[in-house]
Amino acid sequence: MGKYYMSVDLGTSSVRAFIADLEGRVYHSAGEGYDVAIPRIGWAEQDPALWYDRTVRAIRAALERSGVDPRDIAAVSFSGQMHGTVAVDESGKPLMNAIIWMDQRSGEVLDEIYERVGAPAILEHTQNRVAAGYVLGTLYWLKTRQPELFGRVHKVMLPKDYVKYRLSGVISTDFSDAAGSLTLDNRSLRWARPVLDALGIPEAILPDLGPSTKVVGHVTEQAARETGLSTDTLVVNGGGDSFMQAVGNAIIEEGVFSSNIGTGGQVATTVGAPIFDPKLRTSTFAHVVPGRWQIMGGVLNSGISLKWITRQVLRDDDYDAVNRAVAQCPPGANGLFFLPYLTGERTPHMDPKARGAFVGLTLDHGRAEMERAVMEGVACALRDCLEVLLEAGARCDRIVAAGGGARSDVWLQIQADIFDRDVYRSASLEQACLGAAITAAVGAGAYPDFETACAACVDPPNKVFHPIPENVAVYRRGYPIFREIYKQNKGIFHQIDDMTHK
């Protein structure tokens, strides 16, 4: 068996291929980018064929740059953006663009779902609130709004599972990603049949279920020709990106929180039992680690908020310059606030009609204040998640930063100040990639379990950001204002949404 392990991390903005040895040492990684299509306000789609095309490019580039013989890659596994819906026909071809996690179109059918199933049954069989952007709501939207297309659906996959299918020829998913579809019972680890039956969604269209470490097959001959991989390489199930970031940070025991700023954002922690917020403002999903669960608060727009303000509004993508400018701007952005609800919001509002907003603008404000306000607004939204998880009974001994936002010292300091807690930066800047590579190694039998693998492969955090007392004092005044802005404007946001959708 080869000594190298590959992971494919399918994100919302890019895909990365990553190669590591048994100690987790990176030999090379390569990435390819793509965009989100917004065909109308509130919708968000991506082309699955484009995902695979970019994956092929990334794998070939990683192999070329590393110099690793493809025959020495024992296994490949996956990390992927969660909640999205890929529907294929009997030939395995997508029937439409994938409807991804930030899509809000199924918000219009949520009341119908609750009327047909009942809130107690949904809680009993999924342990979560149904929200827009998840597979369950999207499938019911397709069934009721586009029944002809729904009738042609042979199988449904989550995003990373489509890429896995193209590599292996096998349609399968794991418990963590299945949990994020809201069609899984997290206690029994089986499809939530009572919910599916009540909505008229055939269980047969869902993929085969298994652990994240399950070997589903080998790289097919066609995929080997396309990617340069060997047909001897095992294909391992993989999991959702939030869980793979947890594994890549060795967050597999209780007490450690992750604060992730990717395209979206999450605050999450591992728990030993499927606890959940009584108000259902969080998600509780089966972990990739057997016998554990993850409780998570989700922010729809974190890194994408900064991308939006820099590229789309200010027409600049020099993030080094952004970080320098923000570092020179005082905490509180001179009284400017930003709500990062550009595509609605999940935790704590669960409101697909929420809107983004700058509040407090004056003629004295410039781009530095706007950029800092965006970073602070995202951090405040993440603190909302943190507070809800603490209310639900999760224990927080320390916070580890994850995602692309962890590359920014100023953003990490903002988080430490707004959370009023130490924030640790991971030694790896590609935690989800590392987590999926570890999953490949465990699946291939190189390690007996995740605990052993993480001990061998994950370095401890390499830097800590301590709260600065004078900054904390500013945010103690500012954070309640941030929360009040949404409360005071919720009705206006809903009126705006109703106006733009008529």
Structure letter (DSSP) for residue 272: S
* Residues tagged active-site: 241
460: Cβ contacts below 8 Å, ≥ 6 apart: 427
Instruction: Provide the residue ranges of all domains of the chain, joining segments of one domain with +.
Output: 4-243, 250-294+387-465, 303-378+477-497
| 70 contacts 64 by C-beta, under 8 angstroms | no
CATH class of 250-294+387-465: alpha beta
**With 70 as the cut, is the pLDDT of residue 104 above it?**
yes
**With 70 as the cut, is the pLDDT of residue 482 above it?**
yes
**With 80 as the cut, is the pLDDT of residue 60 above it?**
yes
Q: Residue 502: pLDDT band by 50, 70, 90 thresholds?
A: low
Indicate the CATH number of 303-378+477-497 among 3.40.50.300, 3.30.420.40, 1.10.3720.10, 3.40.309.10: 3.30.420.40
Indicate the CATH number of 4-243 among 3.30.420.40, 3.40.50.12780, 3.40.50.740, 3.40.50.970: 3.30.420.40
Dihedrals φ, ψ of 164, to 5°? -60, -40
Residue 232 identity: D
Residue whose pair of structure tokens reads 């340069």 in the numeric block: 228
**With 90 as the cut, is the pLDDT of residue 30 above it?**
yes
Structure letter (DSSP) for residue 29: E
| 496 contacts 502 by C-beta, under 8 angstroms | no
| 160 contacts 115 by C-beta, under 8 angstroms | no
Residue whose pair of structure tokens reads 């004092």 in the numeric block: 473
Range 116-131 average pLDDT: 92
Q: Model's pTM, two decimal places?
A: 0.86
pLDDT digits (tens, 9 = 90+) for 251-296: 898 999 999 998 889 999 999 988 878 888 998 999 999 999 999 9
Cα-based distances in Å from 414 to 6, 262, 273, 377, 437: 34, 16, 32, 10, 31
pLDDT digits (tens, 9 = 90+) for 185-230: 999 999 999 999 999 999 999 999 999 999 999 999 999 999 999 9
**With 70 as the cut, is the pLDDT of residue 495 above it?**
yes
**With 90 as the cut, is the pLDDT of residue 316 above it?**
no
Residue 213 has which token pair?
A: 């470490």
4-243 and 250-294+387-465 agree in CATH topology: yes
